[in-house]
Structure formats: structure tokens, C-alpha cells
Structure 1
Amino acid sequence: MWNLLVVEDESIVRVGLRYMVNWESLGLNWKAEASNGEEALSILASQQIHIVLTDIRMPGMDGLVLAKQIKQQYAGVQVIFLSSYDDFAYAKEALRLGAVDYLHKPTMDEDEIREVLGKAVKLLEEQKPPSRQQLSGDDKNEYLLSMLDTYTFPSPPFASELETDEFKMGCWLTIIRKREDAIAETADSEHLRFVSLLYLIDELVAKDWGGFVFHRHYREVIWIAPLMAKASGNKQPEKSKYLEGLRQKVLELLNAAVVYSHSSCYAHITDLPKAYLEALLRLPVKEQSDNLIVRMAKEWVDRRLLEEDMTLSKVAADIHVSQGYLSRVFQKEVGENFSDYVIRNKLEYAQKKLRETNRKVYEIATEVGYANAHYFSKLFKEKFGVTPIEYRNQ
């Protein structure tokens, strides 16, 4: 379901619209209402909105100013305008700003509303990222991993799957790791043991609870779970007891000793970066130390990603560890060195800006810290196989 926000200063018009159309039959959820542009922006900041149906003329912030703000801050949101007889010039400006269409308030009927909303839904479907069924193997794992960091969080997430009834009530996250004091193994046998652990947990939670199971560089299993277990019947299992039972099954079936921690419940899937950090901090101290240091380094990068002068020595000094130690644990935990991680995140941020804005390539290059646009384009092509212009035109 796509979420609809209606912005109209006349309450009678809002009421009329609400009951004029069977919104659910269009795949829409009448999510929220606002009486002015400021109120609408507040709702957009706190709720997942896909379509905004807004009056052009309103007291305070009018619909055109609101649309400009939406396009700058929420590029994927589709905007439709409501206009009156004397708003024709405004309506033309609205279309120039990238609105889907406009509806003429005095004459609009159910069929016209359905047609215009259908256009918006079609545009949303076209820009929607691949669903989990279309992603497999490493691609799916990388996509899910991107949901654990604020800067790499996809926009929108798996809308067709993560905004289902299963996740509507909220979500929580679990980290599962092999105990560090477990018997040492060769690299090959350790990898196979981890893959077996991953598959077993995926199979067990898919049957009992639901959600998504993936891994972080074959070092930890991560499970994103809906609030309610699907096989719970009338009695909802307690999370800690369920996880302890899971640990016991892993020990019995694979003879593998693991530790785990879980987050509290969060209202929306966009809170996953917070849930991951909370679960990380709850791991036993021996298991979290290196991971936590790397997490602190990654958060330092996230906060300063758009700065040009970003070095390993700076982050090491700020989080109070030696540069050599940070370099070793970063490579071990993340699977790439610090500079490669910074470059990758800058390029992925640039990729998002190319996709969601009309800004020039040199402007995006400058924003992510590359004064030389040619060098930026060279790095971009090495990473993604196409130039920034080719990527935008795909």
C-alpha cells in the first residue's frame, strides 16, 4: 500500500475527498491530513509518505513552495495539486516543478481522481527498488546490510515487503556471533561452519517468526524480525526465551557455540540503524570490543562523510585508539580498508544524488569532497562500471 498525505486548508474539502473515493481499491492508504504546508512538512519528516495531494493556495506556505521543499528533501514523493478556476497559471508552474498532474476542485469527479492517482502509483512502481525475490545471493545481502547504516539506507526500502502487515506493528533486530573462545578452525572449515549456521537460523526463524536473515562479512548473523511471531497463535513467545532456544538448537545440531543480543522494538523499518547499534552494545564485552570500535569509526565517517580531509589518523585520534590498531580491526571487521570504505560510501552517496536529484555532476562531486570532477568520474566508473552521466541516463 502507498501512503497518501492530503494537504488542504478547508476541512470540508478534506472530508469530501476522503469519502469520494475508495482509496484502498487504488492501493492507497489515507495516511495523514494537514491544513497547511508547514504541518505537511512535519508529517513528511516523521511518517512514510509516498503521495502528497495538496491545494495550490493555502495560508502561510502555499502548495508551490511546499512542492519545492518536497522535491528537495523527498525526491521520490509524488505530488498532485488541487486547483480552482483562477489557478491556471499556478497549475502550469506546478507541472513545471515536476507535479504528476492537477485536479480542478470545482469539477473533479471520482473517475478523474482515480486516473490522476493512477499516474502517481505508476510512477512509484517504476522507481521502486527490486523486491527481495528479484535479489539473490550477494546482492540481497548487500542491500540488507545497507539498511544498518544511516548514510547507506536505501530510499525507499523494500516497500513491497517491509511495509506489509507483518512489519506494520514494528520490528526488532538480533545479532548472532560464534563465541570467540570456541575451538579454532581452519579458514575453510570456519567459513563452512558459518554458512551452515546462517542457513540453519534462516530456516528456523522463517518457520517460527518470519523476517530477514543475512550476514555481515561472514562474521555475524543478523536477523530483522517483525514485532509479532507468525506462528505464535494466541500466545506471543518472549524474545529472550525464543533466542535462547535458538542458541540451544544451534549447539545441538551444529555443535557450534554462539552468543547473541537483540534490540528493543522500533516503530518503523527506518529505525534499523538504531536497532543495530543497540544490539551491538548489548553483546558480551569480549564480543563487542573490536566491533564497537569499528562501529564508532563508521559513525565518525557517516557524520563527516562530505568533508574533504578525512583520514584514518583523524578518526583514530577522535575515538582514542592507535592508528595501527584501528587499521587492523577495521580491515578484519569490515572486509575492506578504511580509505576504500570512505571512497565507497562517498560514491554510493553520489549515486543516490544522481538518482534522486537533477544536480550537475561537478556539483555532486564537490559535495562529496572531490574538487576535480574528472577524477570523481574516473572513480565512479571504476566502482560501478559506468560514468555518472551514463548512470543517470539508465
Structure 2
Amino acid sequence: MMNLKTILIVDDEKSIRDGLKVLVPWEEHGFHIIGEATNGREALVIIHEQQPDIVITDLIMPEYNGLELSETIQQQYPDTQFLVLSSYDDFPYVTEAFKNGAIDYLLKPTLTADKLLAILKRIAKKTTKKELFFAEEDRLSQHLNRYLSGYPIEEEYLLTQYFDQPNYYLIYTNLLWYQNKQQVTAYLKQTLLKKVALKELFYLIETTECGLIFTSHLPYELLHIELTDTLRALKRIEPDLFFVLSPVTHSLESIKNKIQLLKNESHEQYFYFKRHIVLKEEDFLDLNTFEEFDTKKYLRSLINEDFHLSITRIEDYFNSTIERMPKPDLLKQETSNIFYTLFSLLLDFCDKPADIQLLKQTFLFKINQVKYLEDFSLLVLTTLEELRILIEDNQIHHASENETIQQMTQYIERNFQKNISLTTLADTFHFNYNYVSKLFSQHYNTSFTDYLNSIRLNKARHLLLTSDSNLSEIADKCGYADLSYFSKLFKKYYGTSPSKYRRENQL
């Protein structure tokens, strides 16, 4: 059965789409129309799902025009060829489309079946040759994958024969870093080195370690620049893009050892190079140093509830440690330990533990997910600033509560002889009843009623010893209308009746 080349038609005019579908007997000439779209945005959905061989697209369309579509196809779907439909007035757009990789263009007013078929057959022939070439490359890549994975292969000479010179470069990346892994590998295989490599082979080992082994006529520094420029387009799609370029090596055996080295070290280097696209191996940082945190001083400041000093010690430590470039996993683990201790003590200290608990959970989750030093530093600094605010709010709240308690205490001492209650205080100071009750309980470690009785009975005791007033008068002056209740309460507090207390203690 003939292997049909698949075609997608993209045009906002239904008459053009319908006309193209019936213009030629597609299957007879080796083509099959898999779909149609009214604009570039619809087209991208179909391209992503069905990967057509050829796209025939109009240039001027609403929402997402043909130029935008052609640029995206070039960047994300290098296997897909495209030609553009245009009117006479669209020529400036045609020029831009060719810059984006268009194979050819067709003028709508002069479009015929013969012209369309001639261009499509030329594209089909080109893609067929390309497929044969890549099939051979894929076979060699499989040999390379087995060789790099440590398996003995009899065809090693095919690899050395293919490269044809013993000066190899290596670029390495890890697919774990990317969202669209297929897109990255397709870009590597078909786009990346066309301008700079004499020969190249794609490798993929352990399902994630991948890159290219290649030879090039360019010197190392210039090669680095060219690779960086070429990969910028891919970085717009994969913002976490990160490659390592090795210096020239002179045997496949040394390439195998180099890949193992890069596998072990690249992930840690990746943490420190958010802005880099291609990192030269010679620019690797030395990540062997690590400074221990002064736990004794830190814990002392926490025990003393000097949380501002604790935060300052954390800041000073990280400023010093980051300059020494520790290994990311060690840095994250130490950070988690330091902050866990701080959060745990603040949960007991602050009046709003729910806020601390939420911040704690968020921080401990994010610190393990963070990919770059830049983001790590921002997370630490913003978390410390949020903690400062919570601590200050808590201190202000305590200061405000202390002032409120002092004012309430003065009010009680001036009005204890009146019929006052928690409701009276809540109304007088414009607070919620439950808040006033809780405030008394926390500050005096007793209930409002017990506190008021202690004030009244202490005043009664003073009057018993310094005045000639009888017991009923003293009870009334101290806020007790019932003499019997007053006497009973007095005995409960002081272990004796009011009259006996006066006899035994009055001078």
C-alpha cells in the first residue's frame, strides 16, 4: 500500500478550503488530507495531535495568522513542511514566510491543479529523502546508545567510520527538566547542529540522559556562541532549557566517560545557572565546600524569644553560604532544618498559629521543588520577611492587649463597688464579650468573677481594720448587697468570718 503524505489545509475562507479539497484527486498522487482549520490557532491543535507532513496555509487570517503559524511550525515541528497561499498584495508577508522556512508559495488567483501538484511532489520527494537519511541516522544512534550504556558492540567501527575524524564534541541535557520531551528531542535530532556540525548523532540513555555527539570545524568558543544562539528559539518554548558543552575529546571511549561525568554533575550545576542556555564544562562551579550553621547561637536566640535576632542569624548564614556554592541538596536540607525549628517555636509564641502553620507548609514544600538558586534566595528572603511581619504584628497585638488590660484594671478598681460584670466591661471598652473573657483568663490566669471578688474583698479587709463602719455598711461599700453572701465569701477567701478577722487583727 502506498505511504500517503498527509496534508492540512489552513484558510479562513471556506470556499478556498473546499476548492483545494476537490482541486486534485489527492490519493491518486500519493497525498491524503487529514483536516482543515480556519486559523493558525486551530491548525496548531491538529498539527500537535496528527503531525501532518505538509501544511498549506493562508497568510492573512484572524486570531493567529499564517506568519505566526509558520514561525511556530519551524520552532516546534521541524518535520512538518509548509507552503503558503497568497494574493498579489501579500508579497511582503511571503518574504517573511520564507524566512520562517516556507518551501514555496502559491498565488490564489493563478492557482491550478498542475502548479499545486508540482510543488507538493517536490516537497514529498524531499521529505522522503530526509526520512531515509534519518532512518540511517536512527540505526547508528541505536548502536551509539548501546555503546554508551556499556554494552559491547561489534559495530563500533561503524560509528568511528561515520564520524570520520577523532575530534568529538558532546552536548548533554536531561529530559527530566522539560515539559515537552518529544519536542526537545526532535529539535536536537533535526534542527540544532545543521549550521555548525560536520557529522552528528543523537543519543538517549537511561530514558532521560540525551544529547548529541558531533564533529565540527568551529573552534570551541565560537561553537559555544553558535549553539547558544541556535537554542534561543527552543528556550521560548522550554524556559528551563539547559545544555552542557564538553571540550573536544579524541575517542568514543572518552566520550562515554564524559557523559557519566556530566550525568553526575550537571543537575547540581543546573541549580546555579538559570540564565544560561549552554554551559561550557570548563565553567562548572566547585560545589564541594559547605559551612555548618552555628546551631548553638541560633537556638539560644530562639529560647530567649529574640526572633528578630534569629532571623538575622539565618540571613547572615545564607549570605555567607551561598557565596561558597554548596551542593543544592545539602543547601536545601540545611535550610529545611533551620526553618522547621523556627516555625515550630513560633507556633507556640504567636497568637495566630494558623498563619504560621500555613507559611510553614508552603515553605517546606516549595524549598524542595525550587530549581534555581535565584528562586531559592527569593523564597528564603520573602519567607523571612513574612515571618518578621507576623512577629511584629504579634508583638504589637500583645502591647495593645497589655494596654487594654491596664485600662480595664483601672476601671474595675474605680468602680468595684458598683454592679459591674464582663458585659459591662465589653460594652464600656467596645469589645466582644468572649474576647474580654479570654483576655482576663490569659492575663490573670483566673476568671473575671474571681478577679473582681479579690478586689472587693481586699477592700473589705482594709475597711474592717481602718474604719468604724459595721459589716452591712462595709459589704455595701464593697459591692455586696447581701451581708450573708459577703460573710460567706469572705470566710472562703480568708478562712475566717469578717467579724472575727476584725477582732483578731484590729489595732
Give TM-score scaled by structure 1 length. 0.40
More helix by share: 2
